[in-house]
Structures are given as C-alpha cells and as structure tokens.
C-alpha cells in the first residue's frame, strides 16, 4: 500500500509541475496586440499547417472577397493554395511596422535571404489586429 501512495504522490507532483509549466507557457508566443506579433502568429500557423488558426488571423474582408463570400471554407482554400508551407518555417518579421492610412505595413523575409521581402498589411477589425495582405498571397496556387 505504501508503494501505491508513494507513486500517487510522485504522479501528483509531476502533474503539478506540468500544470505549472503549462500555465507559465501560455503567456509565451507572439503578442497578438501588435502588428509584428499578429504576423508572427500567422506565419507560425501556416508553417504548422494549422489552417483554422491562420484563417482566424486573416481579415474578414479579405476572406470574404478571396473566398467567394464563404468564410467557412477558408481552411480548405488555404490548404489548396499553399500545398508547400516550408517557406513559412523561415520567415521572419523585418523591423517594426509603419503606420499608414491603410493600416500597419511591415515586411517579412526568409531568415537566410533577408533581401527577399514581402509586404504585409495588418488592420484592425472589431478591436483585433488581422492581416489584410499576408505573406505568400502573391505566390499562392489559385
């Protein structure tokens, strides 16, 4: 019986440690309150082929126009348009966003080719930052 009690205590302490780490890590990751963080989160989602998360970071206006007015199929469209997402694995935000009348403009480029930049446009919709122009859009298979 003592062995079982010891094991349960060990399991509980490991579980407690895991929960503590999980709670501590939830604050990690891109800051969705900044254009740079929103862009980083989108790039990460695309690199992981997490279509739902990537769609959640796109402008509703863009999704509505680009996907024939049917946003429920956004994950299907992104998967079809971007069969190879390996490029997203090395994309990095270059500098800070510049505020313009259209929104926040910033550039991304592969870490190993910082000269190959793409422009991203981040706008505010319903109190959150979302991408109106996303990296890879111009090279998508449509």
pLDDT for 109 equals 94
Instruction: Convert the pLDDT of each residue in 47-106 to its tens digit.
Output: 999 999 999 999 999 998 888 777 889 999 999 999 999 999 999 999 999 999 999 999
Q: Specify the higher pLDDT residue, 138 or 120.
A: 120
Tokens 């990537």 sit on residue: 54
pLDDT for 78 equals 93
pLDDT for 27 equals 59
Instruction: Convert the pLDDT of each residue in 103-121 to its tens digit.
Output: 999 999 999 988 899 999 9
Instruction: Convert the pLDDT of each residue in 7-56 to its tens digit.
Output: 444 444 443 433 343 444 445 778 999 999 999 999 999 999 999 999 99
Whole-model pTM above 0.95?
Answer: no
pLDDT for 67 equals 83
| Residue 40: closest CA among 139, 135, 113, 140 | 135
């Amino acid at each position: 019986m003592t062995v079982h009690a010891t094991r349960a205590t060990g399991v509980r302490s490991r579980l407690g440690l895991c929960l503590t780490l999980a709670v501590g890590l939830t604050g990690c990751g891109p800051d969705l309150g900044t254009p740079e963080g929103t862009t980083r989160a989108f790039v990460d989602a695309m690199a992981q082929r997490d279509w739902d998360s990537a769609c959640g970071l796109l402008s509703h206006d863009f999704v509505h126009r680009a996907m024939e007015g049917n946003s429920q199929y956004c994950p299907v469209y992104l998967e079809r348009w971007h069969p190879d997402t390996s490029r997203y694995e090395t994309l990095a935000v270059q500098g800070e966003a510049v505020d313009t009348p259209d929104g926040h403009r910033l550039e991304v480029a592969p870490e190993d080719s910082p000269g190959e930049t793409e422009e991203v446009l981040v706008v505010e919709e319903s109190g959150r930052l979302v991408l109106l122009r996303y990296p890879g859009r111009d090279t998508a298979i449509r």
